[in-house]
Structure 1
Amino acid sequence: MKRRLIVAALLIIPLSILFAQETAKHPLNISLWDPIASFPYDSLSTTAVTLGFSSRTYNLKGVGINMFAHFNEKGVRGVTLNGVGEFAKGNMNGAEISGLFNVVSGHMHGLQIATVQNTNVLHSKGIMIAGITNFAIGDARGIQIAGITNMAGSHFSGVQFSSAVNIASSSSDLLQIAGLVNVCAEPINGIQIALGNYAGGVNGVQMGLLNLCGGDVRGVQIGIINHSKDTSAVKIGLVNITPKTRIQLLTYGGNTTRINTAVRFKNHHVYTILGIGTHYLGLNDKFSGSLFYRAGAELPVTKKLFLSSDAGFYHIENFNNEDLTTPERMYSLQLRLNMEYHLLNRLGVLASGGYAHTRYYKTHRIYENKPVIELGIVLF
């Protein structure tokens, strides 16, 4: 009997000690630098409040305020405020506010604010605000706001807002707003707004100067140049490109700008043209030129003969040729009728006639009205 009692005691005492250690709580830890603290780091303790220059806790349930940094091993549930950074090896539930960095190796649910970077390794859900970069390595849901870059290495659903670049590996519901570029490697269900946008597919809206889609677009692209791999997408822009778009090079001379080079993007029987021309004022004058955009429609008469009509806007730059009658820059509105004959499949000749109405930008004065005559060739 005594032997059984001794054995039971030997089993109960270690368990009771272990239980007491696991439930040990430190209401207040004042730390200079671990282990110089009122409660040095204990791998089986829970701390309610930690204050000081730098502290290390196993499990923090409450508040941590440190001039330098806080290091946590198991998890944080509460609020931390650090001059440099928060480094949590476990999970974070609550709010992290740091002068430079927040790093969570486990799951993060809550709010992160840092002047440099927030990094989450596993699943994160909440709001990340950083002066430079937010980086979610695992799946993430919520809001990322960064001064320069937001990055989501796995699936991200929510909002990314930055002054420069937003990147998401994949997404189901996504709103990306950036000053420069938005990228989602896989199809998105949502909206991208930036100077340049790319997505593996779009079920929603892309809005920017350049919109690229690696798959189908079930929605709309609004921009200067729109590209997708399907032909049924709704595109609103100056240049719209699909796999069936025929891209051709035009080179021609005329009585407005003497030498012109342009690219024509033809979709079925409609087309747009972007080009550049030189010597608007004449070959004997100093250098002047123009940038122009045209949009028109084409009517095939035979397999080799085509008639078309287009309207165009010309920005005319006269550089140092400004005088009393010639301003530094002007604009011209032009209408043309064109006849095109294809000598070969990828070579044709082009003749155009029309009318140009040229005006000053700053006033309502007319610079000139005159006919337009142009002759050139079509390649590709």
Structure 2
Amino acid sequence: MSKGGASVPDEEWERFLKDAEAGGRGAPEEPSARARMVARRLREESGPPAGWRTHTPARRRGGRGWAALGVAAAVAVVVVAVGPWGIGSWFDEGDGANATPLAAESERPTGAPAREAAERPPTLDEPFRGSPAARWGDGAAGIHLPEARATGWMSRTEVAQALTRTRDFLAASSLDPAVLRGERPDRAIALINPHQSDVRSFLGKAFGAPDRENDPLLLFSRFRSSDVRPAGDVVKTRGRVTFREGERGALEVSTDITYVYPVVRAEGDSDEVARTIVRREVVMSWDDPSKIVTEPGTFSLVSYRIDTTNGGCDTYTGYLTPAFLAERTDAAAGDGAEVDPYDRSTTMEERMRETEDEGCGTATRS
């Protein structure tokens, strides 16, 4: 972990946690992801909140769905499988080479991107051809930041800095070339409050022995470099960041970003391009250090949700595992509801409420 950008030894981190546990009269509190989840649900839902370590099996696609875990406040997963269709039905959204860039997404769209008649697959020269992402921003440029204003314990200038650091985390977790090829996302982790012991436990398990409840893909985009390599040096992004005053006067920042990763096989001379689409909603709290135990320049995780298309279904290897045409068989198709991975008109929570399906959903396009 880091302290002001420098590495913090494990023994010092342990001392931080022990000090936080010891507490003291008037001392800041250690951030509790469990408490944040309960408080948020009490504000936003009617009726009593679900138990912290209970699983709500409804509202799910991909066999994982809504889960309240002892890792962070609220974790949700949507998994969408690729279909066995012919290549023409997979790619159907224009050329991409001469596409007019879209304006930044400043508010939630009212519907899914329009479909066009063209049905040409992507190529190494045009890896986003046939996709709405052809008109999206490149990398961090597609992540829209709102105008800062004084909120909670932060001044306007401090809010602007927190928003910039928020985008830094998104870039370090989902756009960094080293992270994409499977390396540990140290720069991203350094921005997470080291005093969140449940998150630290999650990260240790996720990168040591990933499983259903401790999957690094919930926060980080990673491919196994022995399997695939990038098709070009651009990741297309679209999304926005919003903020409000949170618990104890904190700045609560919500992010909703869709990333489109074109890849090719790592071995052989195949020039077939496959795309993996990842949408993440991450909510973070920039806490008042006089009330919450934190480190300067770090945030506490409140919740995170993920929606993946062509990234693997019910696989817990810690890596996204895109399928190519040869793997797209009838058996590989999703058995859940059809999902348009480019439709950003609803929140991920709303998408989960729309279906009670078990198994993987089926993407309508890539």
Q: TM-score range by the shorter chain?
A: under 0.3
Greater relative contact order, per chain length (Cα 8 Å cut-off, separation 6+) = 2
Structure 1 length as normaliser, TM-score? 0.21
Larger radius of gyration: 1
Q: TM-score, normalised by structure 2?
A: 0.22
Question: Whose strand proportion is higher, 1 or 2?
Answer: 1
